[in-house]
Chains A and B, each alone.
Chain A
Amino acid sequence: MEMIQIVGLGLMATVLILVVREQKPMFAFLLAAFTGIFIFLYLIGKIEIVITVLEDLANRSGIPSIYLKTILKIIGIAYIAEFGAQIVRDAGQEGIASKIEFAGKVFILVMAVPIISVIVETVIGLLPDGS
């Protein structure tokens, strides 16, 4: 029944934000940011369990840990970028939100470069000699 709690929290926060926005829009923005952070912080605990299982699986199957680390970093960057962009978008700054998302994409690309190079080297190794 945690889902109902989250939905209730969201509805309650929305009503409070609507009340406060009439008087002070600044406080409404901070309240929205706080609610977002609160829900995210709650979910992080759940995500941690899944991540632990993934790490365990990767250790058992003998995948080099650098791959899992890279993938987890990419997921983390995606979460943070999305979170920041949404808060900024809520405040009405569409342009800055797009830049945050763009920065997230660039960082993910930078993280993925070692994996891409490994793939290219594997493919080159598969090719027959002399071709």
Chain B
Amino acid sequence: MRVRSPRRAHRLRTWTAAAALAATALIGGAAPALADGDNGGNSGDDGGAVTEAGTTFRGATVLEPGQEGKAAASSSDYLYWAFGAGAGQRPTVSATVRLPESSTRSGTSRWQLSLHDGLRRAQPCATGTHTRTARQDVAEVRLRCTLRPVQPWADTWSEDPLPGAYFVRVAAVGLPEQDRGLPIEVSVEVDAGSAGGARRGGGDLGGPLVPSLHAGTALAGGDAADGTGGTGGTGGTEGDAEADRRTLELAEPDGGWSGSWWSDRWLWTAGGGVAGALAAVGGYLWVRRPRV
């Protein structure tokens, strides 16, 4: 016959409590990430809409997080906006193109929203319809593109999205000759999004991919071969160049370029540690328990 000792009952309670603690730790991972997302949405409210768009990469109009970009343009224009994204984010860009009146159009056009990173590499859309065909009677086209999660580091051969500038381009990729130059209105919105711990990589890029805008200084081929003398000169100009290096003026995303320190991986790993410790204590006590 077994008698439940007070000590044993206490042990049971502790186990239950520990299990509950571990469970909260593991499940609760999403909450802080969500809070981060909310902050991202609110911080841009003061901005108001941007009413212009650039027509080249270098002339791209900068969008603050959560800010809307609008522009009146011609159907044959290529419109550019830029925004900054940090590691751990998963930006979604949506665009609406209000097409010219059906009576002035002659046929079907095809519209595309494309995203390029700070190195001007085209970044694929993981989800979202980023290309749409508009029949002649359609009044507007909605496009959407969600990037792959932005990683804090990637191998040089990899084309993973990295922290830094992102360029949005909205343009007609198929347009009847007669429909060129007609008035359109385009609006663009960027949502920073959050990738979650499962897609959270590590490492550090050193600095975001934000391209220079200033003119460079080229030395002719002959000068380059000068050797040490030439190199010294270059060092000097490089110092100057560093001083007036002008880049795209992007707002740093919430959580910084290399992303927030937070990830639910902390909880998983800590939870594993707790579980391991409890298992160790349990195993020890099981072997060492007094036999009745």
Bound together: no
> Which A residues form the contact surface with B (CB < 8 A)?
none
